[in-house]
Structure formats: C-alpha cells, structure tokens
Amino acid sequence: MNSPRTTLYRDKHNAKLMGVCAGIADYTGVNVFWVRMAAFLSIFMLSGLTILAYFVAGALLSKKPPYLYRDASEQKYWQGVRQSPRRTAREIKANFRDIDRRLAAVEAHYVSSNPRLTAEIERLR
C-alpha cells in the first residue's frame, strides 16, 4: 500500500484549471511553470491528445489533502523519495552509520575518561 505522501494528487490550492499540472509539479519537485509550459507545448506536438489526457487525469486523480506535509522541508524530502527511493535509502543508511560512529566515539570518550566507570564495567565482567 502506498503512503499518502507518495501518491499523485490534483493540487487545487495551486491550480489554474483542475490542478493536474500543479499536482505533477508537487509530485516531481519541478517548478509548476515548467510543467505547465511542457503541457502547453505538448498540446501542439500531440495534436490535442494532451487536452484529453489532462481532463481524464483531472477526473481520476484525487484531490490533494490540505495537510499532507508539515512544512517545506518535509515536502522536499518526500519529493526526493519519489524521485529516487534507492538514493534516499542510501542517504538514510549513511546518516545512521554516522550517528552510530559518533555515538561510539562519545561512549569511548566517556568510558576512557571515567576510571570509576571503567573499573565497574571490568568488575561486572
């Protein structure tokens, strides 16, 4: 099952007509101007098929929930997840490795600078 944050929606808040281009822009992270420009140019290239596809998408896509993201950074994160899930997973793994490394360094510093704790740990072994 897809997360609501990885689903394509119509964005009625930033819409000009039905919100399809604004929804695509939100989904991909591309500026809505460029999505609208591509849609406009494709009308001439595809002999009007774009207009039909636009209205079909407008009828089939759900309206974007009003509070899908808490803030702009969360929106940017989910756009990155949608663009490249593997890269996002690698970044998360790298962040956890870094946190683990730093935590080990703090633990080693605290244990090495506290002889009473070191003696207590040795006594428990």
Instruction: Please tell me the predicted confidence (pLDDT) of residue 13.
Output: 73
Total length of the chain: 125
CA distance 46 to 51: 9
Alpha-carbon distance values, 41 to 14, 17, 25, 36 (Å) = 20, 17, 16, 9
Which residue has tokens 């999505």? Answer: 35
pLDDT along the chain (125 residues), means of 10: 67 79 84 90 85 87 76 77 77 90 84 76 82
Instruction: Please tell me the predicted confidence (pLDDT) of residue 116.
Output: 79
Instruction: Please tell me the predicted confidence (pLDDT) of residue 6.
Output: 66
HEC letters along 77-96: HHHHHHHCHHHHHHHHHHHH
Which residue has tokens 């007509």? Answer: 17
Instruction: Please tell me the predicted confidence (pLDDT) of residue 99.
Output: 93
Instruction: Please tell me the predicted confidence (pLDDT) of residue 1.
Output: 43
